[in-house]
Amino acid sequence: MPDLHERVSTSFSAQGLMTTLGAQLVHVAPGEVRIALLPRPELSQQHGYIHAGAITSVLDSACGYAALTVARAGCDVLTVEFKINFVRPAVADRFVAVGKVTRAGKTLTVCQGEVIGEQGSRQEIIAVMQATIINLPATN
């Protein structure tokens, strides 16, 4: 079985949406994955904030990949549900989505995540998520 970083980065590289968003995989450890997103005008909504869809997508991926780090060999993962709360507008120089496994089961893994906005030396939580991820047999 490939090491954790290779397992996650191979899958991450195959995601067209992460490429479109310009997201970057920046940290992989057992039970935790971090994905960075730099703001661009193409990712904004009508008020100039980064669109909730972009933030949600990156955080969903961070939680899913955190679950993949603890999934059995021969399994892949898929999100079955999530809840996200935005606690402030998405304005920052850089966003980091942090996905962490709360509990890994045989079939379902529950994860928590947050998006941290970095503005100079200041860091603020932008959004929080709880996600449920299912383990499925790998298709390749």
Q: Each residue of 40-64: pLDDT tens digit?
A: 999 999 999 999 999 999 999 999 9
The CA angle 58-62-63, to the nearest 5 degrees, is 120
Q: Is 88 strand, coil or helix?
A: coil
Number of domains, the chain: 1
129 with 63: CB under 8 angstroms?
yes
CB atoms inside a 10 Å sphere around CB 84: 17
Confidence check: pLDDT of 140 > 90 = no
Give the pLDDT mean for 89-110.
97
Q: What is the pLDDT of residue 1?
A: 43
Domain that includes residue 46, residue range: 4-137
84 with 128: CB under 8 angstroms?
yes
Give the pLDDT mean for 80-106.
97
**Residues 31, 13: Cα–Cα separation, whole Å:** 19
Domain of residue 51, CATH code: 3.10.129.10
Confidence check: pLDDT of 17 > 60 = yes
